[in-house]
Structure 1
Amino acid sequence: MRNHIAVDIGASSGRLVLGTIVEGRIRLQEIHRFKNGFVEKEGHCYWDIDTLFDEVIAGLKKAKAQGIDDCTLGIDTWAVDYVLLDEAGQRLHDVYAYRDDRTSQAIADVTARIPARAIYEKTGIQFQSFNTLFQLSVHDREQLRQAASILLVPDYLHYRLTGQRVNEVTNASTTQLLHLQTKDYDKDLLALLGLSRSQFPPLMQPGESLGYLSEPLRAAHDLPDCEVICVATHDTASAVLGVPARQGENWAYLSSGTWSLLGVEASRPITSEQAQEANFTNEWGAYQTFRFLKNIMGLWLIQEVQRHCGGTYSFADFVAAAEQEKPFQSFVNFDDNRFLNPHNMMEEIQRYCQETGQPVPQTPGQIARCIFDNLAILYALSVEEMEAITGNAIEVIHIVGGGAHNDLLCQLTATVSHKRVTAGPTESTALGNLVVQMIETGEVADLHEARQLIRQSFDVKEFVPAETAERAAWFREFRKYTKQT
């Protein structure tokens, strides 16, 4: 039995999860959990990257104390945020968080120089103001000039662990700088930013080894003998690998966490004008796949409401309260940038409803109901768009991640989309991280076998659409109040 550890860090928390195969099933054990979140300093939002690294080391110490003497290790985090290193490997700046508003005008500025259509044809990546392309376009020019290496967050943690500088492809693709045909950084976009290819380390595929922990780390700490495997470092890429889909079914995934990522696993990118207008993205996946998906505001909405309620409501409390409220009273486009990082999420939702002349939700239960109803509508509309663009009818939506716990939202998704929904496993991101390690070490043959192993290891819930004559009215009202066509 081999030991594998997934370092899975999201926008609000991180953890180290031990994965082993026991009697034909994957067994998970959480070793260490810690909080994460950006901090505001001098008008900007930053990640505390040094503390994140310290927490990884703390987790490995716990693993060693529990008797884990050797293991493999894989890291996944969120995408787009980056670290600049000088020639000596020292960080040049604090790490900006993607919710910082410094890029509010960046898309207009960049597309004035290279047309949006040309950028999308090159990269296949949807336009979001926080993409690395737009973050770098507003970064201090002198710091960019001094940068010997530009790494994304998981790549920086790899560097701190092993001394190796690489950029893993599933995360690198989210920068909106990789060219779909050349499979490398696009020279025109680099020129626009005033950067050179030499400032970006070599690209690495999931499943390759980065070697063992560096000698200085092993000398300073009592850690397991640990080989670092480059997994699919973008947490969505890992989550998709952890979807228990069956070979041959037409399926979509909904990775439901801070963000909602809804899409299909594809063998090739789709860069048509229709895909661009619908703002679908073509992120690179593991094992020569693409994630054709829509980025939708997710449980960040309820996380922020919880924060402004002073933590008096658990997420289960919000679901229970929402179930008591009348559904579909107010229609809100939560993909509007005003919900990206407002000062007070509850007040922002109420203000939106006031401005559009709708009933204003007042109680936490009404706010939660408004969030869940409108997320389900956004999911359903995205599935319709995806079917029209790909020409394939979706049979089942697999909801994975923390949102799979929310039975109300899962049932709403089934009913509004009129699709069968499965919910679970909630640990799909850690599982996707772990199965790449297991494939690399030969314990699992390939991704097909890995998904079969996940299916036989974890139970899932099924939701079927409730019959209703109101779906068309919900869509009509949503489009009316959100100016959707």
Structure 2
Amino acid sequence: MNRHIAVDIGASSGRLVLGTLRDGKLALEEIHRFSNGFTERDGSCFWDIDYLFDQIISGLGKAKAQGITECTLGIDTWAVDYVLLDAEGNRIQEVYAYRDRRTDGVMEEVASLIPPETVYAKTGIQQLTFNTLYQLYAHDRQELAEADQILLVPDYLYYKLGGRKINEATNASTTQLLNLETGDFDSELLALLHLRREQFAPLTVPGESLGFIKESLVARYDLPQCRLICAATHDTASAVLGVPVQSGRTSAYISSGTWSLLGVELSRPINNPQAMAANYTNEWGAFGTYRFLKNIMGLWLIQEVRRLDGGRFSFAELARLAGEAEGFRSLIPCNGDRFLNPDNMIEEIRSACAESSQPVPQTPGQLARCIFDSLALSYRSYLQELEELTGTAVEVLQIVGGGANNGLLCQLTADVIGREVLAGPTEATALGNLAVQLIHEGSVGNIAEAREIIGNSFPIAAYSPCAVPGLQEVLARWEALHAPVAAGDSI
């Protein structure tokens, strides 16, 4: 079978992408694209999970209309958010979005019951206010007790399509509930939440067959016969699988989208006190690997600025306007809690600049330049941390995902880190999803071969570092800006 569909859903948009392998090259065709976003109701933030499922069905209907009668299918989405099911397999309530403020103060409350150092030693997962551990602690206790199953978002979508309940390992690791030693849910942390192991489905690894899409769905909506393959369902895990290998050079990656995830792929976790102090995470990857990485606020900042500006400018136009604005004029600590989900991102950025006695950005170009400069400097800071924690110097930084399209940000990053930046492929997440399907089908031997094919199939832009006038003064301002919040970095 040479028809493979990746369902790739992020926090701001989703798509169904068809992948075909011909003559050693992987070709992509976008079948269906749709918007995504949480809604606020009665003071809480929710995802419309039924809408997402309907969009998958709509996309598969388009695939059938194009003549695709049989295919494999894999799903990836964002992490940490979950769905509660009753004994009949029905969803109990709406799905909370991770930016919901119900977890405010929960980390501190949990820390009074079990030391954060103990949790990190067990799980290797960084302290984030929205981790599933804290979301479940904040959830209504009675409702949790009545839940027969707790599935993460992509697991639920697989269940709706095929009927099998799973907890895919790369995504389940982000819950901060998996024990690195036992390879399963940690009994002490489950007891803290008053949960039972049987409320979570068995752990499933990427590449496992999950059966076929329900015949009732195929008949009702005239869909292709889809063999469901368990992808690396955490979108970052899939994105890392889609990063081409840099032969002969040590490299790190940034999966750049709503979030920027900067890290390296390791064969063993690093869950020592130094890694915990730097707030690095050890998320499980496909094929026995670990994603040792740092969460950085990412393009969420510019997405919110664009939304609040009424969408007057495209992201490409905002990058152009930023390029015309004065560089390094105003900077913000991107990973501050205040930027996670403020009432108004534009005003939050302006307030942060005013409070630190910097020029306040007024125009869309100035706001965008403030964001891109600050992201590039964040990448520099965290890349240095990464090198110290791993003991390995990074020679090249590979940016994949939507942020690879932002030439200004890529060049700024090369300039401030003083190393080459390679940008692309932009569809790394879908490519990683497809790679697992191709390996399962036997079309590709292993992930190394898949990465080589990806590198040969898509253009990669190279950015060499240029001198930044006054960089030392910029770095001094950057360090001063972070001095009061370094210990509270929790994104």
Q: C-alpha displacement at 1:469, in angstroms?
A: 5.7
What is aligned with 2:369?
369
Which residue number in structure 2 is paired with residue 191 of structure 1? Answer: 191
**Aligned residue number for residue 329 of structure 1:** 329
Alignment pair present for 1:440 and 2:451: no
Cα offsets for 1:245-292 (capped at 9, x unmatched): 234431100000000000000111001111111100000000000000
- Structure 2 gap ranges (5+): 487-491
**Structure 1 residues 83-102: aligned runs within 5 Å:** 83-102=83-102
Whether contact under 8 Å (1:162, 1:210) holds in the other structure is yes
Q: How far apart, CA to CA, are the structure 2 residues paired with 1:37 and 1:267?
A: 34
Partners of 1:23 and 1:112 in 2: how far apart? 58
After TM superposition, the structure 1 = structure 2 runs for residues 418-433 of structure 1, keeping only pairs within 5 Å, are 418-433=418-433
How is 1:156-167 mapped onto 2 (pairs within 5 angstroms)? 156-167=156-167
2-structure distance, mates of 1:481, 1:156:
42
Alignment pair present for 1:308 and 2:324: no
**In structure 1, the residue corresponding to 2:453 is in which secondary structure?**
helix
1 CA distance for matches of 2:346 and 2:361? Answer: 9
* Contact 1:331-1:482 within 8 A present in 2 as well: no
| Structure 2 counterparts to residues 324-473 of structure 1, below 5 A | 324-468=324-468, 470-473=470-473
Distance 1:79 1:257 in 2: 14
Using the alignment, how far apart are the partners of 1:469 and 1:33 within structure 2? 42
Q: Are 1:246 and 1:451, in contact at CA under 8 Å, matched by a contact in 2?
A: no
What amino acid maps onto 1:139 in structure 2? H
Residues 74 and 231, structure 2, Cα contact 8 Å, conserved in 1: yes
Moved over 4 A (4+): none
TM-score when normalising by structure 2:
0.97
Partners of 1:410 and 1:356 in 2: how far apart? Answer: 26
- Corresponding position of 2:268: 268
Across the two proteins, how many residue pairs are aligned to each other? 485
2-structure distance, mates of 1:218, 1:325: 53
Aligned pairs for 1:30-429 within 5 A = 30-429=30-429
CA separation in 2, counterparts of 1:314 and 1:218?
Answer: 38
Aligned residues of 2:331 and 2:371 also touching (Cα < 8 A): no
Q: 1:245 touches 1:398 (CA, 8 Å); kept in 2?
A: no
1:248/1:148 CA distance change after superposition, 3 Å: farther
Question: Is the deviation greater in 320-329 or in 178-187?
Answer: 320-329
Deviation at 1:216, TM superposition (A): 2.4
Matched residues in 2 for 1:141 and 1:249: separation? 50
Specify the SS of the correspondent of 1:16. strand
In the TM superposition, what whole-angstrom CA distance separates every residue of 1:323-367 from its partner, at most 9, and x where no partner exists? 111111122101011101111111100001111111111111111
8 Å CA contact 2:44–2:100 kept in 1: the answer is yes
What percentage of residue pairs aligned between the two structures are identical? Answer: 59
- SS at 1:466's partner residue? coil
Aligned partners of 1:301 and 1:371 also within 8 Å: yes
Instruction: Extract unaligned runs of 5+ from structure 1.
Output: none
Cα-to-partner distance string for 1:420-455 (whole Å, 9 max, x where unaligned): 110001010000000100000000000110011011
1:171 & 1:475 partners in 2: Cα distance?
A: 36
User: 1:349 corresponds to which letter in structure 2?
Assistant: I
CA distance in 1, matches of 2:130, 2:99: 7
TM-score under structure 1 length normalisation: 0.99
Q: Say if 1:75 and 1:154, in contact at 8 Å, map to a contact too.
A: yes
What is the DSSP-based 3-state SS (H/G/I as helix, E as strand, rest coil) of the residue aligned with 2:211? strand
- C-alpha distance in 2 between matches for 1:220 and 1:115: 52
Superposition RMSD in Å: 1.0
